[in-house]
Structure 1
Amino acid sequence: MALFNFKRDAAVSPAGASTTSSQVEALLHDYSIEVMPRTAEKVEDFRDLLPQHTRVYIAHIDGTPIEEMVSTAKRLKTQGFDVMPHFPARIIADRATLADWIARYQAEADVKQALLLAGGVSTPAGEYHSSMQLLESGLFDGFERLHVAGHPEGNRDIDRDGGDKAVMEALKWKQAFSQRTDAKMALATQFCFEAGPVIKWADRLAAEGIDLPIHIGVAGPAKLQTLIKFAIACGVGPSLKVLQKRAMDVTKLLLPYTPTEFVTELAAHKARHPDFGIQSVHFFPLGGIKANATWAIENGGKSAVPASHS
């Protein structure tokens, strides 16, 4: 199904529109968003764009100095946000480096949350190659929240045959770990574009006894060409065809993509099935943080309170 810019008043009746908007608002409650140090630099004050205490992930791309990561975390924490830096296992040289990073984040930015993932590097820099090793290190003891990666469309870095056997085994290990840690755990996923397969994946996890809350990755508003470029670079799976189909429609090629249809379908399913595993939305602001924050507010997400800058 091709994506389109959803118009509440045209798509459903006034009563239905109210119901739909309340469902989306419920799913967007407590949404999170991802930044990198270089994109964060472009934002004068995050308090003008995001609600206070929004969880802000800081992506750690290979080659980014830890000083830039910690500086960004400190700035966001000072402005009143819950900071969750990435810890990609395969770019961490050794235990001493991991311990140093954690110590810096805690001392300078009071970081209590972390996203642990293998990372997209093919050759590990040192002894770590999976998030499970990071969890087993014991160095994250005392953290309040630990998130790990989820893969609704599979991950060929892990299951090279295109299946999900290794991914499922890892998730079951993480499920067991969640039961012996005091930290709150959840799955944060790659961004996707098609609701049906995501719903099927979440239901499959539940059937396998994996009940970690799912924070579903959602690409924010962006030019279609930009989105396709990032989707290919990030290894987005079969749902990429949704974008490619849209790109073939000349009437839609130049229109900006918004995630309205994707989010609306998930929100409606959640409303019909309250125990559905997707708990909230995690935004990838591929078209810019301001555009993403504006879309979230317009679709029921909490508004930012303008900063006084005093």
Structure 2
Amino acid sequence: MAILKFIDRSKNNGGAVAKYAGSLLHPYSIEVTPRTAAKIDDFSALLPSGTRVYIAHIAGTSIGDMVATARRLREDGFAVMPHFPARSIPDVPTLESWISLYRNEADVTEALLLGGGETRPVGTVESSIQLLESGLFDRYGFKRLHVAGHPEGSRDIDPDGTTRNVDSALKWKTDFSGLTDAHMAIVTQFGFDPTVITTWAERVAQAGITLPIHVGIAGPAKLQTLIKFALSCGVGPSLKLLQKRALDVTRLMLPYGPGDMVGALTDYVRDNPQTLISQFHLFPLGGIEPAARWVADNTITQPRPATATL
């Protein structure tokens, strides 16, 4: 659980920016793709040592490119967590091949397991539950496994608009966490309404979920960019906040910053120490460098364990 200490708050174009010592932003994790990572000359100049870097496996990306990106980031001293999108993995032998490549060629011991963006499975693997049931991550010595959380639901999993299947899947994964040697946590999709996040976190806790929650936060970006990603990623209720902002011509041309979300959620954790919310995961929708700079400008660095230990 993050230890919070209020320092300062001010206003800028990105909304209310909170500076905290040891806040949910210190440490944080961030997401890249092989293509976006290739544009960064030196990650060490942008990210704190030990930062967990997720590598998104976008459709069409080769496993070779994924492993090469993972190797580079590991050699630079980061904790690396590649995506394993179940519906893009043809079969269990392919899954084992991927795990072996990451483990043996890039020293990867962490993974995000999720259903993935494919509407239909390309083979016999359909869900993150099947990935866990394979037992391969334990066999290859993976130390940390994260799974996806959907505070605004998922039409891919619950087409009827309920949360029945996503809730039961999280409960299954919570039970599974007692059977694996790996540490487990939930990482959520990004959103724009802190109340949606906190209400969901309280509801899943009441349902018996005990896994720590890493809340997805959209990094600084143009409003049009955020709306495009929100529509493509299925962000629902909180999208209304973006659309409302788009109607305000005085704010339309201003860049979006995550200050309001970060401030509200950090205050919530301070006031609700029993919450499962434990840190932030940054989606750099407007670019890796602007996202990393925003965090550096809005946190006060204090000694705290690296992300990989949380």
Could you state the TM-score of these two structures normalised by the residue count of structure 2? 0.91
CA 1:9–1:171 in 2, change beyond 3 Å: closer, same or farther? closer
What's the offset of the Cα at 1:214?
0.3
One-letter identity of the residue aligned with 1:160: P
Alignment match, 1:204 = 203
C-alpha separation in 2, matches of 1:195 and 1:26: 16
1:259 maps onto 2:258 in alignment = yes
Could you tell me which of 43, 48, 51 is aligned with 2:48? 51
Whether the aligned pair in 2 keeps the contact of 1:57 and 1:86 (CA below 8 Å) is: yes
What's the offset of the Cα at 1:277?
1.1
**1:26 counterpart SS class:** coil
1:183 maps onto 2:182 in alignment = yes
1:124 maps onto 2:121 in alignment = yes
Whether the aligned pair in 2 keeps the contact of 1:55 and 1:81 (CA below 8 Å) is: yes
C-alpha separation in 2, matches of 1:180 and 1:9: 46
C-alpha separation in 2, matches of 1:148 and 1:9: 34
Q: Which runs of 4+ in 1 moved over 3 A?
A: none
Whether the aligned pair in 1 keeps the contact of 2:19 and 2:300 (CA below 8 Å) is: no
* Correspondence 1:80-229 to 2 at 5 A: 80-141=77-138, 142-229=141-228
Alignment match, 2:5 = none
Unpaired segments ≥5 residues, structure 2: 1-7, 303-310
Deviations 1:24-57 (CA, angstroms, capped at 9, x unpaired): x511122000000000000001001000110000
1:21 maps onto 2:22 in alignment = no
C-alpha separation in 1, matches of 2:271 and 2:119: 41
**2:31 counterpart SS class:** strand
Alignment match, 2:3 = none
Percent of aligned positions that are identical: 59
1:268 maps onto 2:305 in alignment = no
C-alpha separation in 1, matches of 2:227 and 2:289: 20
**2:20 counterpart SS class:** helix
Alignment match, 1:4 = none
CA 1:86–1:9 in 2, change beyond 3 Å: closer, same or farther? closer
What's the offset of the Cα at 1:105?
0.6
**2:261 counterpart SS class:** helix
Deviations 1:8-30 (CA, angstroms, capped at 9, x unpaired): 3469xxxxx99x5227x511122
Higher-strand-fraction structure: 2
**1:39 counterpart SS class:** helix
C-alpha separation in 1, matches of 2:262 and 2:214: 12
Whether the aligned pair in 2 keeps the contact of 1:28 and 1:301 (CA below 8 Å) is: no
CA 1:103–1:198 in 2, change beyond 3 Å: closer, same or farther? same
Deviations 1:68-120 (CA, angstroms, capped at 9, x unpaired): 00000000000010000000000001111111111111111100000000001
Alignment match, 2:9 = 8
What's the offset of the Cα at 1:301?
6.1
C-alpha separation in 2, matches of 1:97 and 1:22: 44
C-alpha separation in 2, matches of 1:33 and 1:264: 18
Whether the aligned pair in 2 keeps the contact of 1:51 and 1:302 (CA below 8 Å) is: no
C-alpha separation in 1, matches of 2:102 and 2:20: 37
Deviations 1:255-295 (CA, angstroms, capped at 9, x unpaired): 00001001100000100111111100000000010100001
What's the offset of the Cα at 1:123?
1.0
CA 1:10–1:48 in 2, change beyond 3 Å: closer, same or farther? closer
**1:215 counterpart SS class:** strand
Alignment match, 1:235 = 234
Deviations 1:232-271 (CA, angstroms, capped at 9, x unpaired): 1111111001100000000000000001001100000100
One-letter identity of the residue aligned with 1:280: Q
**2:198 counterpart SS class:** helix
Cα RMSD after superposing both structures: 1.7
